[in-house]
C-alpha cells in the first residue's frame, strides 16, 4: 500500500512540474536587459564571419553584427556571449530560446522564413555558391563536373542548390555530406572528393585553411543566390525591429559617411539625416524601445557597414574579398537600407 | 446463521479499508496521472510550437526532398520525397548493422577461442588485441579507419588494379557486378534443390545413426552437393552470367559494384570494436563449462571435436547469448556514429539533412527514436527466441 501511495504522490508531483507554464511572458529585449548581455549564435569557426582568435575574442562580420546590437542596447559592444553552433543545430537553438539572435552566415529562404517560426532581419552579406577544386584535375568550369564527387556540409541550402544545379544541367554527382565545414576540408584534402562546394566567401576562407592553398582554385561559376543575415524568433516584433534597424543604421551610416572615427564630430552635424541617425534629433531610439543614441553607440563602438566589411572580409584581410555586390547601391552594389526617419 | 462455524477471515472491511479496492483505486489514479502527464507534454509542445509559428505534423514526408544521397539500397533521386529519404537512411543503417553483426560475431568467436589457446603467442596476441581495441573510443577508431586509411589510398587515376577487374582507390573498392542472363533460373533451381536435398540427407543420417549406430559423413557430402549441383546447372545452361566491369570514365569509376570508403570504415570499426567485447563474452562462456563435463565426455570416448561441438559449446551458449544480445544492440546503436564520417545512415540523412531542410525537429527525432527502439527490440526478440531454444530444458 505504501508503495502505491508514494508512486501516486510522485506522479502527482511530476505532473505538477509538467503543467508549469512553458512560455515566458517577458519580451526578448526585457530578458536581454535582465541578463545584462546578448546571447548570440555563431559558427564554430569560419574565418571572416565568426571565429575566436588566439585570446578567445570572437571576430568576424557576423560577430560584429551581434556586437552592434549589444552596443545599441547597452552602449557596450562587449556585452555579448557567443554560442558556437553547427548548421544543423542553429535553428533549434534559436527556436528554443537558447540564443537571442542567430548571426551565422544563414541563407534567407522562403521555407526558413515561413515554416521555422523565424524572421530574417536583413542581409549582412550577399553571397553565392561556388566550387573549390584541385588545380591538377584540369577543370575550368562547373559545367565540366559531370560525375564528380562533391564534399558538402550537412544542413545547408548548399545541399539543395547543388542538386538543383546538376539536375538542371543533366549531370550526375556523388555527395559526401559532413557535419562541419572543418570535416569537408579534411575530406577534400584527403582526396575523398574532387570538388568542395559552399558559399563563395566560405570557399575563400576554407581554401586558406588547406596545407597548400595554391593547389586549389575557385571555379568562376556562381550557382545560387545566398543572402546571409541575422535571424530572430517570430512573434516579437520589437526585437525583430531592433535587429533589423541596427543593421540598417550601419548601412545608412556608410552611405552618409559616418564612421567610428568621426562619430563624435558628426554629433555636431547640421545634416538632419545624420542627426536622426545618431540620435541628436528625434526619438528614433524610443520607438524601438532603445536609448535615443543607439545609432551613435553602434557606429562608435562597432563601426558602419563598410568598416565591418573591410575589417573582417575585405581586400586587406586573408579572405581578400572585393565588395562586389556588397557595395552600396550608390557604388553599383545592392546594399540599400531604408531611411531612418 | 451457523454461529459454530468460525470464519477464519476477518469481517468484511469498509470499502476504503479493503486492500483490493484500494489497490485498484490507486492504480487507476496513477495510470490517469501518467496519461495526463504525457498528454500535457504533447499538448504543451504542440500549442507552444503553433504560437511560435513553427510548422507541425507529418505532411513534410510527402514533400520533395531535393538533395542527393551518395548510397542507397532503394531507388532514390533528388526528385523523391522526404519520406523516401527515411527509407534510404533506414536501409543503410540496417545494412551496416547487419554486416557489422556478422563480422563482429565471427572475429569475436575466433578471438575468444584464441584467448584460451594453449599456444602462448596466440593467447597473448588475442589478449593485446582485446585490451587495446575495447579501450579506445569507437568514434576515434572510425576516424582512424576513415581518414588514416583513406589518405593512404591512391586517387582514382592511380587506382590499385587487380587483374583489370578489381580496383581500389580513395573513392572506394570497385568490383565487377554479375548480371544474370536468361537461363540463370536453372542455377537457382539447382541451388534450392541442393538445399532441400541436404536437409533430407541430414534427417536420414540421424535416423540411420539412431537405428544402427553408424555415422554418415553428412558435412562433407552436403558441401559437395551444395557446390557441385549449381555449378553443373551453370554449365548445362551455357554460363548465363555476364560481368559488368568497373571502368574509369571522367572523374571516377563507373559500372560494377562499389563499396564506398564511408561504409568500409564504419563496417571495419564497428566489427573490430564489438568483436573485442564478444571475444570476452565467448571466453567467459567457454570457461563457465566445468572441467568435469569435458572429462566425462572423454571418459565416454568422444573425440576432441565432438566434445567441443556436443558438450562444451551448447552449454557455453547459454552463458554467451544474453550478453551477446546486448553487444548486438550496442553495435546497431553505435552505427549512428556514421554521421561523423558522412556515411548516409538514418541519423545522417533523416535526422540530419531532412530535419534541417524541413525544420521539423520534434517529428523527425521522434520517428528516429522509434526506429532505433524498433530495431533494438527486434534484435532482442530474435535473440530471446534463440536463447529459449538453447536454454536448459528442465524435464
Q: What are the pLDDT digits (tens) for B32-79? A: 999 999 999 989 888 888 877 788 888 889 989 988 898 888 899 888
Domain that holds residue B134: 82-148+259-390
Instruction: Look at A45 and B348; give whichever has higher pLDDT.
Output: B348
Which B residues in the span 216-275 are in contact with A, Cβ-Cβ below 8 Å?
249-252, 254, 261-262
pLDDT exceeds cutoff 70 at B112: yes
Q: How large is the C-alpha radius of gyration of chain A?
A: 23
Q: For residue B199, how many C-alpha atoms fall within 13 Å in the half-sphere facing its CB?
A: 6
User: Using the beta-carbon criterion (under 8 Å), do B151 and A235 form an inter-chain contact?
Assistant: no
pLDDT exceeds cutoff 80 at A123: yes
pLDDT exceeds cutoff 50 at A10: no
**A43-52, B103-112, B151-160: range with highest mean pLDDT:** B103-112
Q: Which CATH number is A129-224's, of 3.40.50.720, 3.20.20.80, 3.40.50.450, 3.40.190.10?
A: 3.40.190.10
Compute the distance between CA of residue B112 and CA of residue B359 in angstroms, rounded to an integer: 47
- At B346-388, the pLDDT tens digits run 999 998 888 888 888 889 999 999 999 999 999 999 999 998 8
User: Using the beta-carbon criterion (under 8 Å), do A8 and B36 form an inter-chain contact?
Assistant: no
Strand-pair category, A38-43 with A80-85 = parallel
Instruction: Look at B5 and A88; give whichever has higher pLDDT.
Output: A88
pLDDT at A20: 41
Average pLDDT over chain A, rounded to an integer: 88
How far does A67 lie from chain B, in Å, by closest CA?
26
pLDDT exceeds cutoff 50 at A17: no
pLDDT at B156: 82
pLDDT at A230: 96
pLDDT at B203: 92
Instruction: Look at A120 and B393; give whichever has higher pLDDT.
Output: A120
User: Using the beta-carbon criterion (under 8 Å), do B54 and A11 form an inter-chain contact?
Assistant: no
Q: Which CATH number is A28-126+227-323's, of 3.40.720.10, 3.30.360.10, 3.40.190.10, 3.20.190.10?
A: 3.40.190.10
How far does A246 lie from chain B, in Å, by closest CA?
24
C-alpha cell of residue B82: 522526404
Q: For chain B, say whether A210 makes contact (Cβ under 8 Å).
A: no
pLDDT exceeds cutoff 50 at A1: no
Cβ-based contacts of A6 with chain B (< 8 Å): none
- Secondary structure of residue B175 in the 3-state scheme: strand
C-alpha cell of residue B329: 544492440
B182 pLDDT tier (thresholds 50, 70, 90)? confident
Of B49, B170, B340, the CB nearest to A192: B170
pLDDT exceeds cutoff 80 at A19: no
Is there a domain that residue B98 lies in? yes
- At A52-70, the pLDDT tens digits run 988 889 999 999 999 999 9
Task: Give ranges for CATH 3.40.190.10 in chain A.
Answer: 28-126+227-323, 129-224
Kindly provide the residue ranges of all beta strands, DSSP E only, lying in chain A, ordered along the sequence: 38-43, 51-52, 58-59, 80-85, 101-107, 118-120, 125-127, 129-134, 148-153, 173-178, 195-199, 216-218, 226-233
pLDDT at B4: 56
pLDDT exceeds cutoff 80 at A13: no
Instruction: Give the CA distances from residue A296 to residues A240, B136, B260, in Å, rounded to whole numbers and listed in that order.
Output: 20, 55, 57
How far does A204 lie from chain B, in Å, by closest CA?
23
Is there a domain that residue B232 lies in? no
pLDDT at B9: 62
Contacts of B101 (CB under 8 A, 6+ apart): B274, B328, B331, B332
Of A8, A156, A178, the CB nearest to B342: A178
Which A residues in the span 63-92 are in contact with B, Cβ-Cβ below 8 Å?
87-88, 91-92
Cβ-based contacts of A112 with chain B (< 8 Å): 359
Q: For chain A, say whether B44 makes contact (Cβ under 8 Å).
A: yes
Output the domain CATH number for residue B315: 1.10.3720.10
- Report the interhelical angle of B313-334 vs B361-390 (nearest 10°): 170
Instruction: Look at A167 and A8; give whichever has higher pLDDT.
Output: A167
Q: Which of A36-50, A61-75, A318-332, B175-189 has the lowest mean pLDDT?
A: B175-189
Cβ-based contacts of A145 with chain B (< 8 Å): 251
Q: How many CB pairs under 8 A join A and B?
A: 151
pLDDT at B7: 56
pLDDT exceeds cutoff 50 at A22: no
Which B residues in the span 83-112 are in contact with A, Cβ-Cβ below 8 Å?
none
pLDDT at A251: 96
Which B residues in the span 60-79 are in contact with A, Cβ-Cβ below 8 Å?
66-70, 78-79
A12 pLDDT tier (thresholds 50, 70, 90)? very low
B282 pLDDT tier (thresholds 50, 70, 90)? very high
Scanning every residue of chain A, which has its alpha carbon at the shortest distance from the alpha carbon of B52? A117
Count of domains in chain B? 1
How far does B276 lie from chain A, in Å, by closest CA?
28
User: Using the beta-carbon criterion (under 8 Å), do B68 and A12 form an inter-chain contact?
Assistant: no
Amino acid at each position: 500500500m505504501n508503495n502505491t501511495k508514494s508512486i501516486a504522490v510522485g506522479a502527482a508531483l511530476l505532473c505538477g512540474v509538467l503543467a508549469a507554464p512553458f512560455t515566458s511572458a517577458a519580451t526578448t529585449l526585457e530578458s536581454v536587459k535582465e541578463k545584462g548581455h546578448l546571447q548570440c549564435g555563431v559558427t564554430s569557426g569560419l574565418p571572416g564571419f565568426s571565429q575566436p582568435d588566439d585570446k578567445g575574442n570572437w571576430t568576424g562580420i557576423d560577430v560584429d553584427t551581434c556586437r552592434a546590437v549589444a552596443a545599441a542596447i547597452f552602449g557596450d559592444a562587449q556585452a555579448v556571449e557567443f554560442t558556437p553552433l553547427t548548421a544543423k543545430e542553429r535553428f533549434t537553438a534559436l527556436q528554443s530560446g537558447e540564443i537571442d539572435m542567430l548571426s551565422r552566415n544563414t541563407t534567407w529562404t522562403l521555407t526558413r522564413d515561413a515554416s521555422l517560426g523565424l524572421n530574417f532581419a536583413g542581409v549582412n552579406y550577399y553571397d553565392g555558391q561556388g566550387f573549390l577544386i584541385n588545380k591538377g584535375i584540369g577543370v575550368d568550369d562547373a559545367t565540366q563536373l559531370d560525375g564528380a564527387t562533391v564534399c558538402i556540409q550537412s544542413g545547408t541550402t548548399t545541399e539543395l542548390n547543388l542538386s538543383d544545379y546538376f539536375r538542371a544541367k543533366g549531370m550526375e554527382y556523388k555527395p559526401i555530406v559532413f557535419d562541419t565545414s572543418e570535416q569537408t576540408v579534411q575530406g577534400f584534402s584527403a582526396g575523398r572528393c574532387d570538388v568542395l562546394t559552399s558559399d563563395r566567401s566560405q570557399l575563400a576562407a576554407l581554401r586558406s585553411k588547406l596545407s597548400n592553398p595554391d593547389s586549389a582554385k575557385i571555379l568562376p561559376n556562381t550557382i545560387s543566390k545566398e543572402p546571409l543575415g541575422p535571424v530572430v524568433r517570430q512573434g516579437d516584433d520589437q526585437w525583430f525591429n531592433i535587429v533589423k534597424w541596427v543593421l540598417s543604421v550601419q548601412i545608412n551610416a556608410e552611405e552618409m559617411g559616418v564612421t567610428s572615427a568621426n562619430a563624435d564630430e558628426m554629433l555636431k552635424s547640421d545634416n538632419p539625416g545624420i542627426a536622426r541617425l545618431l540620435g541628436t534629433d528625434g526619438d528614433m531610439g524610443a520607438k524601438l524601445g532603445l536609448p535615443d543614441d543607439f545609432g551613435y553607440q553602434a557606429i562608435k563602438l562597432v563601426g558602419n557597414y563598410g568598416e565591418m566589411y573591410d575589417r573582417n572580409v575585405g581586400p586587406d584581410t586573408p579572405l581578400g574579398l572585393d565588395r562586389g555586390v556588397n557595395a552600396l547601391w550608390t557604388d553599383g552594389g545592392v546594399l540599400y537600407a531604408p531611411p531612418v526617419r | 446463521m451457523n454461529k459454530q462455524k468460525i470464519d477464519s477471515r476477518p469481517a468484511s472491511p469498509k470499502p476504503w479499508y479493503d486492500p483490493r479496492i484500494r489497490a485498484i483505486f490507486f492504480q487507476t489514479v496513477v495510470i490517469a496521472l501518467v496519461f495526463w502527464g504525457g498528454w500535457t507534454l504533447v499538448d504543451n509542445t504542440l500549442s507552444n510550437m503553433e504560437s511560435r509559428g513553427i510548422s507541425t505534423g507529418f505532411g513534410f514526408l510527402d514533400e520533395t526532398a531535393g538533395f542527393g544521397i551518395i548510397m542507397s539500397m532503394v531507388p532514390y533521386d533528388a526528385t523523391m520525397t522526404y519520406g523516401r529519404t527515411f527509407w534510404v537512411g533506414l536501409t543503410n543503417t540496417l545494412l551496416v548493422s547487419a554486416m557489422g553483426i556478422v563480422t563482429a560475431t565471427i572475429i569475436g568467436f575466433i578471438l575468444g577461442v584464441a584467448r584460451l589457446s594453449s599456444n602462448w603467442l596466440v593467447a597473448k596476441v588475442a589478449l593485446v588485441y582485446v585490451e587495446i581495441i575495447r579501450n579506445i573510443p569507437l568514434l576515434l577508431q572510425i576516424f582512424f579507419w576513415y581518414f588514416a586509411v583513406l589518405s593512404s589510398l591512391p586517387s582514382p587515376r592511380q587506382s590499385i588494379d587487380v587483374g583489370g577487374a578489381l580496383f581500389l582507390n580513395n573513392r572506394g573498392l570497385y568490383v565487377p557486378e554479375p548480371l544474370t542472363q536468361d537461363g540463370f533460373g536453372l542455377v537457382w533451381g539447382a541451388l534450392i534443390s541442393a538445399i532441400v536435398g541436404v536437409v533430407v540427407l541430414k534427417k536420414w543420417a540421424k535416423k540411420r545413426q539412431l537405428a544402427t549406430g553408424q555415422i554418415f559423413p553428412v558435412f562433407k557430402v552436403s558441401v559437395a552437393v551444395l557446390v557441385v549441383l549449381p555449378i553443373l546447372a551453370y554449365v548445362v545452361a551455357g554460363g548465363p552470367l555476364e560481368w559488368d566491369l568497373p571502368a574509369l570514365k571522367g572523374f571516377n569509376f563507373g559500372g560494377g559494384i562499389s563499396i564506398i570508403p564511408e561504409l568500409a570504415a564504419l563496417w571495419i570499426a564497428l566489427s573490430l570494436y564489438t568483436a573485442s567485447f564478444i571475444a570476452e563474452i565467448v571466453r567467459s562462456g567457454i570457461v563457465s563449462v566445468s572441467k568435469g563435463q569435458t572429462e566425462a565426455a572423454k571418459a565416454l570416448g568422444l573425440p576432441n571435436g565432438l566434445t567441443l561441438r556436443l558438450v562444451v559449446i551448447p552449454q557455453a551458449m547459454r552463458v554467451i547469448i544474453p550478453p551477446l544480445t546486448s553487444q548486438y544492440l550496442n553495435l546497431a546503436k553505435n552505427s549512428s556514429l556514421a554521421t561523423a564520417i558522412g556515411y548516409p545512415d538514418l541519423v545522417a540523412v533523416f535526422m540530419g539533412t531532412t530535419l534541417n531542410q524541413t525544420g521539423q525537429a520534434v517529428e523527425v527525432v521522434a520517428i528516429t527514436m522509434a526506429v532505433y527502439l524498433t530495431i533494438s527490440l527486434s534484435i532482442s526478440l530474435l535473440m530471446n527466441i534463440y536463447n529459449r531454444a538453447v536454454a536448459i530444458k528442465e524435464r
